[in-house]
Amino acid sequence: MTHITDIKARQILDSRGNPTVEVTVFVGNITGTASVPSGASTGKHEALELRDHNKEYLGQGVTKAIKNIEKKIKPLLLGTDVMLQREIDSLMIEKDKTENKSRLGANAILGVSLACAKVAAEVKGLTLYEHLNETLLLNRNPKMPRCFFNIINGGKHADNKLSFQEFMISPNFSSITKNIQAASEIYHHLKKDLHEKYGKGTTNVGDEGGFAPEKLNNAEGALKILMKAIKDAKYKPGRNKNQIGIAIDCAASEFYNKGMYKIDGKKLSKEKLLHFYMKLIKKYPIISLEDPFEQEDFSSFAQLKQWSDNQKNKNHKIQIVGDDLTVTNRKRIEEAIEKDSCNCLLLKVNQIGTLTEALDVARLAYENRWKVMVSHRSGETEDPFIADLAVALGDQLKAGAPCRGERTVKYNHNLMNFSIS
C-alpha cells in the first residue's frame, strides 16, 4: 500500500523560540515527519508563511496553518499515492490558488510536501537522499556536498554592527569528515582569537551559531580575524584544493535604502560598492558572494559576475549566489539567467513552498551551468532534511556554524549516516 491514510500536524518551536509547523504523514503504519524552518532576512518575493497575528507568541503562532493542514489539506490528499510527489504538490498549489501560497500558507504546504517525501522513501526502502536523487531525474549521482560554515554572524542574524550577514569558511579537503574537522578547529581558534582581541562578551553567538562580537564592526576586521583563525588552526587560506576558502552572504537588501548602501558606517553607491567587493576579492581568498546587491538589481549582480569571469581576473574568480534576488522562484531565476546575474542558486525549500518546485528550479540551474547551494534558515529545526537534499544534488550546503544542535544535526547526519564519498 502506498496511499496516504492520515496526516497530523502540530506547532513546535524553532531555534529562535518561535512557533513553526511539524507534519507527520502516514501510509498505514509507516510515517514520515518533517518540520519547516523560517527566515529572518527574507526576500520580498518569497512564499508567505502563515502566522496567527494574535496575542499568543507575540503574533507568531502557526495554529492557522495547522488548521489548514487538518481541515483543508488532509481531506484533499487522503487516498493519494504518496509516490506521486508532483501530483501531491500540484493539488495543494491548486487548492491555495495564490501566487505566494498565502491562503493555505507556504509553511503548511511545505510541511506536508516534505513529510510526503520522507514517508515515500521509507515505503521504497531507500534513504531520503536516494529517493530525492531519483525524483530529480538528473544524471547525477549522490555526492557529499561542499560545506559552507557561517562562523561570524552579522546583519539581521546578530545584535552587532556588522553590515554583512554571514562570514563563512569552506574547507576544501577530499572528505566530509576532514572538512567538518577543519571547520570545528577553526571555529574554536576563532573563539580564542576574538576573546584575546576584544575581551569578555565577544564570543556570544548569533542566530546561526557564528560569533557575533559587538566590537567587531567592519567587514575587513571580520575577514582579518578569520584569516588569523585559519592560520592559527594550522590550515592554509586559499581557493585551491586542501585550502580554506572564505564566503560572504552580504544580504545587501538589508542595508540598502533609497539608492544607497550603508555599510560599515559609510554610504556607498552601487558603483562604489562594486569596487569595494573587487578590493576584498583581490585581498582575501573569497570564493563566493551571496546577494552582493539589493534584490531588484539584476544588472549590478551581472557587472560583478562579468568582472569575475574576465580572464584578467582568473585568480579572483568567484561564484555569485542569488538568494533574495532569486528566492527559489522559477520566474526570478529565469530573469537572472537571461541577464547573466549569477552562477549559483541558493536553494531554500521554504522560499517556494513545495519540494517539487524546489527540485524543478535546481534542475533549471544545472541546465544553465549554475551551481546549487542548499541552505538552512536562521530559524531552524532539528530536521536534517536539507542534508539529504544537498547529498541528492551533490553540490553545496550551508547550514550554519559547527555549533548548536539545529545546525550540527545537518553535519552529523552527513558524517554519521552517509557512507558515500
Quick check: 160 and 177 in contact, CB under 8 A? no
DSSP state of 267: E
pLDDT score for 374: 98
Instruction: Annotate 203-241 with b (16+ C-beta within 10 A) or e (fewer).
Output: bebbbbbbbbbeebebbebbbebbbbbbeebebebebee
Confidence class for position 300, pLDDT limits 50, 70, 90: very high
pLDDT score for 391: 95
pLDDT score for 137: 76
Average pLDDT value over all residues in the chain: 94
* Region at 293 (left for phi over 0; alpha for psi -120 to 50; beta for the rest): beta
Note the pLDDT tens digit of each residue in 366-381: 999 999 999 999 899 9
| Catalytic residue flag (residue 208) | yes
Q: 291: closest CA among 361, 191, 375?
A: 375
Q: 248: closest CA among 392, 149, 124, 359?
A: 149
Helix (H), strand (E) at residue 409:
helix 405-417
In the chain the domains, ranked by start, together with CATH numbers, are: 6-125 (3.30.390.10), 146-417 (3.20.20.120)
**Strand order in 19-27's β-sheet?**
6-13, 19-27, 30-35
Quick check: 136 and 359 in contact, CB under 8 A? yes
Confidence class for position 315, pLDDT limits 50, 70, 90: confident
Distance CA 286, CA 293 (A): 17
Report strand pairing: 19-27 vs 30-35.
antiparallel
Distance CA 176, CA 420 (A): 10
Distance CA 379, CA 110 (A): 15
pLDDT score for 41: 58
Confidence class for position 32, pLDDT limits 50, 70, 90: very high
The yes-or-no verdict on residue 15 having pLDDT over 60 is yes
Q: Which residues sit opposite 153 in a β-bridge?
A: 166
Note the pLDDT tens digit of each residue in 324-352: 999 999 999 999 999 999 999 999 999 99
The yes-or-no verdict on residue 419 having pLDDT over 60 is no
pLDDT score for 200: 82
The catalytic position among 49, 122, 166, 208 is: 208
CA angle (238, 242, 243) in 5-degree steps? 20
Quick check: 214 and 258 in contact, CB under 8 A? no
The catalytic position among 348, 371, 398, 410 is: 348
Q: 173: closest CA among 163, 181, 164?
A: 181
- Mean predicted confidence (pLDDT) in 20-30: 98
pLDDT score for 352: 95
| Catalytic residue flag (residue 348) | yes
Q: 262: closest CA among 277, 271, 278, 273?
A: 273
Distance CA 209, CA 230 (A): 18
Quick check: 288 and 344 in contact, CB under 8 A? yes
The yes-or-no verdict on residue 313 having pLDDT over 70 is no
Quick check: 208 and 407 in contact, CB under 8 A? yes
Cell of 245: 576558502
Note the pLDDT tens digit of each residue in 40-86: 656 678 899 999 999 999 999 999 999 999 999 999 999 999 999 99
Note the pLDDT tens digit of each residue in 227-256: 999 999 999 999 999 999 999 999 999 999
Quick check: 116 and 354 in contact, CB under 8 A? no
